Structure 1
Amino acid sequence: MGCPCRPHGTAGRTNWPAEILPVLEHTLTCEYASLTRTGAPITWPVAPYVAEDGRTVDVSTGLTYPSKAERARRDPRVALLFSDPTGSPVSGPPTVLVQGLATVRDADLQANTDLYLRRTLAKYPQSLARQPWFLVRRQVWYWARIWIEVTPLRVLWWPDGRLDAPPLRWEAAPEVTAPPSDPVPAGAGAPKWLEPPADWRPRADHAAGLGDPVLTVVGEDGWPLPLRSSGATRVDDGFLVRIGPPGVPARGRACLTFHTHDADMSGQENVVLVGEATPLSDGVHVRVERALADFSLSGSRAGQVRKMVRTARALAPRLEREAARRGQPVPVLRRPR
């Protein structure tokens, strides 16, 4: 699949619609969609941040699990859906879909890690309040980050989250461009650290209790198109999904993302299923082929700590390898002032 990047220009500060800015700034999670080598969409919940210069909406992924960034570096067409207001102070927010070009930043891992700590403390102050600093410093495997800066080219939004009505639309000026990503790291990356479930059905059964999923397909323009559904019914081979926006080209490779989180981000659960979508007269049939390996933190605090310890054992050895691929030392955690 070809890259649609335009040459990097010198566009000034963006003029995004004022009514969507509180959503971009204050929503705790958004659904980030990128494309695989074969052009299939994959969507995960992530933490969004508006860049200080107002040019990009940024998300991150761990240095020790860089797949989200690697997909964006190969094909920069990505999308961010802001459809879950849990924990947000914004009252009656619109549902917002941002489609744009991704720029992957991993040429300065120390600066990336410092920035992630600052942004996390500002947006999720309770995330570090629950543990002493000496324990936080041992979790470099988590805090070491790769940033994905998304330059919006198109924004659709549905006032009051009414997906049954036509969306409002904004498009960037022709001179707005995205800079190139940092160079591809040398050598082969680490193998997968989690094995996906052998059978997707138990995960699908559990997902049915996590609320309405996000269905992601690929639009006619080649961009991933994630949309919050208005319900999903479990059937033998997958799900029957109800989609609010009319005229969605819901055909072909598809991703169903179920997720939920606490208002203070003290716990979260994710289930991501991939397969094939076929439009129906009253919705979309998604035939599930497999479940992706996911990382969720739910249940008691003690149980979460035990899972984090197991995760640290699996991911910590990957730190030096991924940093070395980029010709850099492993970052250190420095407490923000």
Structure 2
Amino acid sequence: MEHDQLVAPGTAHVMSSYLTCEVATVSRSGTPVAWPVSGVWRPADQTFVLSTSIGFAQKALNVRRDARVALLFSDPTGSGSGSAAGQDQPGQVLVQGDGACPDEIVTSFSRNGDLWRKIDSAQPSSRALSGGRLTRRLLDVYYMRLIISVTPAAVTTRPALTGAGRPLSVPAMPGLPASYARELGDFTSGVLARLDDDGLPTLDRVVPEPADGGLLVPGIEAKPGPASLLFHRHDEQLAGNRSLVVLGELIEGTGGLVFRPDRVVDGVRTAGLLTPFRFVRGLRARAQAYLDRRGLERPVVAWDELEAIQARVDADTASR
């Protein structure tokens, strides 16, 4: 099927306008794991392009080892699309395809200017990560990026999720400590990452319910196996970010398919007095480990190119 048939105009609009999507890659253990990302759809190349810091390199490493990738565009927050889509625009878009991530650290912003323009305009708070000599010295590793491109092989549109208005109520259980179980009450849904019948990663936005020593995922028909649940949120300007992933497996329960937790992987947390210090310390340590394993010198970030992109965004905003 030709790509212009695969990605219809309404579908392309969702892929371009949603501020984030969930991207699932396959871990070394064979578990599909999803994290929220921002990216750009490039119709001329028929690829979706995203990037990640070398301090958050795991999804890139997964893609290099296993090209199977899935993207789900399911959260319209900040996109101007509202919770319901028009007749020509689906509420959710699932993309399954092949990912590629060259073993190259990119510190030039002009090479992916469209991506950085989107991030800067959608997330004004991101400028705090590059606004000053000390900040740049501490957070230059954040801008040492690995570029992932995804070429769609299958695209599925879905209506917006219904029945997700109330906060989740999840008890503590093995694999899900009480502190994280309480925190899930700040979310109204999660994103299930699993393998489909063809062994490809796929994603479903779900409203999990406690059952059978795990979490029932209603409305999902799938074979048992390794899986994960991502919970993430952001506000209209990509601030107030929080993400965490629960790793586990899907099993057959008395009332349907049940996700049984094994452990929690903490993600981004922007709230809290000590959060910025922990974020910087962890990011720098992981980034240095990435460089050390490869025997690489610390690359230089092209700050002037980032400043030029920010100036262009400001000019475009002022002209509206």
State the TM-score, normalized to the length of structure 1. 0.74
From 171, 196, 220, the counterpart of 1:219: 196
From 216, 240, 264, the counterpart of 1:291: 264
Superposed counterparts of 1:1-337, under 5 Å: 14-15=4-5, 16-51=7-42, 53-91=44-82, 92-93=84-85, 94-111=91-108, 115=112, 117-128=116-127, 132-134=131-133, 136-138=135-137, 139-160=139-160, 200-202=176-178, 203-229=180-206, 231-235=207-211, 237-243=213-219, 248-280=221-253, 282-298=255-271, 303=273, 306-323=274-291, 325=294, 327=296, 329-334=298-303, 335-337=306-308
Unaligned runs of 5+ in 2: 86-90, 164-173, 309-320
Unaligned runs of 5+ in 1: 1-10, 164-197
SS in 1 for 2:245: strand
Coordinate RMSD, CA, aligned: 3.0
- Give CA deviations for 1:57-86 in whole Å, capped at 9, x if unaligned: 122221122111111111100100111111
SS in 1 for 2:268: coil
- Give CA deviations for 1:111-132 in whole Å, capped at 9, x if unaligned: 3696364442143234326973
Displacement after TM superposition at 1:317 (Å): 4.3
Displacement after TM superposition at 1:318 (Å): 4.4
Structure 2 letter corresponding to 1:41: P
What does residue 176 of structure 1 align with?
none
Give, in whole Å, the separation in 2 of the partners of 1:70 and 1:56: 19
% identity of equivalent residues: 30
Displacement after TM superposition at 1:54 (Å): 4.0
Structure 2 letter corresponding to 1:295: V
Structure holding more helix per residue = 2
> CA, structure 1 residues 326+34, in 2 after alignment: closer, same or farther (shift >3 Å)?
farther
> CA, structure 1 residues 279+106, in 2 after alignment: closer, same or farther (shift >3 Å)?
same
Displacement after TM superposition at 1:156 (Å): 0.3
Give, in whole Å, the separation in 1 of the partners of 2:61 and 2:181: 27
Structure 2 letter corresponding to 1:158: R
Displacement after TM superposition at 1:330 (Å): 1.8
Displacement after TM superposition at 1:36 (Å): 1.4
SS in 2 for 1:265: coil
